Amino acid sequence: MTTTDDPLVSTEWLAAHLKDPKVKVLDATFKMPGVLPLPKDDYLKAHIPGAVFFDVDAVSDHTNPLPHMFPSAEQFGRDVGALGIGTDDTVVVYDAGGWVAGPRAWWMFLAFGHGGVRVLDGGLKKWTAEGRPVESGEASPKPATFRASFDASRVRSMQQLVANLDSCAEQVIDARAGNRFEGAMPEPRPGLRSGHIPGARNLPYGELFDAATGTMKPLDELRNAFISAGVDTAKPIVTSCGSGVSAAVLTLALYRLGVRDTALYDGSWSEWGAEAGPPIATGPA
């Protein structure tokens, strides 16, 4: 449906394709636990016409106590199919404008073998700022068949990152705010230590988009942000964050820069930072 391999699409593009039956729109808005109103309530109040709600907590492995871990391919196919998305559809994901979970949903689709997925640049924030239409209430999608096949190379486990402490084969980039990365403030999730994975670099995901417009920054600014963080984009990269969601913002930015073979640490700090977890570091990178 698109003529470029850029993972972003513009609001203009989406507006022109909104009535295309093969273009499916997902609202993947996510908030930290305890933040109100709930993302689903925001969706019910206002969303892009025809969009269905993609709940990263629901489309996850419910047997795992960690938050919103990747589900099996069977579950992902079943859950996505129930949202009315078929294997041949083009999927456009967005969030409310804070660049948190839209990229996570995008990476999940890629990891489960669906290349026809894009992120709406600027999300709902830009869409509404332009005076484009929204609707309220629940969508009623017609179930479809979605065939999913998991590509394990796009995800890393804690065991793999523990081994990486010695090998240093992959650079780890943490998307959390600097004070969380340095261990200068408590984690928002209770029971976690403060700090970061030893050897990790820090690039807060908020530095990659324009807060005023909600759009991702130009490629040269993205490239400079990674360089300033001490990242060599020619070498293997794993992205991490608090729970594997905002890390995908870094993944998306790297993808835009042509770095396509990165991986995401799914458990992220929710797993590594547990009291009985692996060694941690504090202070600047």
Distance, CA of 236 to CA of 238 (rounded, Å): 7
Is 168 marked active-site?
no
Distance, CA of 31 to CA of 37 (rounded, Å): 9
Residue 244: both structure tokens together:
């594997």
| Catalytic annotation, pick one of 14, 105, 148, 241 | 241
Distance, CA of 146 to CA of 104 (rounded, Å): 18
- In contact, 52 and 26? CB cutoff 8 Å: yes
Alpha-helical regions (H) of 9-72: 11-17, 39-45
Number of Cβ atoms within 10 Å of the Cβ of 159: 9
Residue 144: both structure tokens together:
């479809």
Q: Rounded to the nearest 5°, which phi and psi values hold at 109? A: -60, -45
Residue 169: both structure tokens together:
């084969």
Strand order across the beta sheet in which 52-53 lies = 8-9, 117-120, 90-94, 23-27, 52-53
Q: Rounded to the nearest 5°, which phi and psi values hold at 15? A: -60, -40
Extended beta strands in 77-170, E state:
90-94, 117-120, 155-156
- In contact, 275 and 188? CB cutoff 8 Å: no
Q: Which of 96, 146, 91 minimizes the C-alpha distance to 119?
A: 91
| Tokens 């300033």 found at | 228
Write out the catalytic residue numbers.
241
